[in-house]
Chain A
Amino acid sequence: EPEVTQTPSHQVTQMGQEVILRCVPISNHLYFYWYRQILGQKVEFLVSFYNNEISEKSEIFDDQFSVERPDGSNFTLKIRSTKLEDSAMYFCASIAETDTQYFGPGTRLTVL
């Protein structure tokens, strides 16, 4: 069964450093998303991406964040200068034409 994959599974970085989180969505999917989940809290929407551009973003997704689909398979989330409060699980999700969003296993980001 096709699945969303994410790398790395765990990323540790120093405050102020740049990180890139990578996702490979399901191959025939059209809409791509990033969500985050701070430990013990609910999953929060960050950004959606369709037709090679951002279609919607939340208040969390400020100028420190960017997304890119550099080729036909990868979908990346970049945080330019990480802050302590960026520590969270980051989930990538994708959908085809149906409504079901399939989530990847997540990347645990730890900012020291």
Chain B
Amino acid sequence: GESVGLHLPTLSVQEGDNSIINCAYSNSASDYFIWYKQESGKGPQFIIDIRSNMDKRQGQRVTVLLNKTVKHLSLQIAATQPGDSAVYFCAERSLGGARQLTFGSGTQLTVLP
């Protein structure tokens, strides 16, 4: 069936470097995508979202890129800090329905000192 998945289960980066976390989705009907950060023992925390009519959106130190041609989503974190260490999930929402989200498997980001 259609699903959202992540390319890499773990990612380690040096403090101060930029991080790129990738996500592939297969549901062409999805119109809205969100990146969440989840720290150990906590709930998903909203980072940034993007609609399907956009290909890029920037926030504070974060950028989301959407490539609908290859159904790919990425999260870029600039100047990665130790507090960025967490599991990052992409999630998609399809048109219609009750706006529920379908989550990917998650990528563990570890920031090295």
- A residues apposed to B, CB below 8 Å: 4, 31, 33, 35, 41-45, 48, 50, 55-56, 91, 95, 99-106, 108
Distance in angstroms from B102 CB to nearest chain A CB is 7
- B residues apposed to A, CB below 8 Å: 32, 34, 36, 41-46, 49, 89, 91, 93, 97-106
Instruction: Provide the bound-state CA to CA distance between A106 and B39, in Å.
Output: 12
Distance in angstroms from B84 CB to nearest chain A CB is 19
Using CB atoms, name the residue of chain B closest to A56: B98
Using CB atoms, name the residue of chain A closest to B43: A103
Chain A residues near B49: list those with CB within 8 A. 99-100
Name which of B34, B36, B98, B106 has the most chain A CB atoms within 10 A of its CB: B98
Given A105-B43, A106-B43, verify A100-B34 contact (CB < 8 Å).
Answer: yes
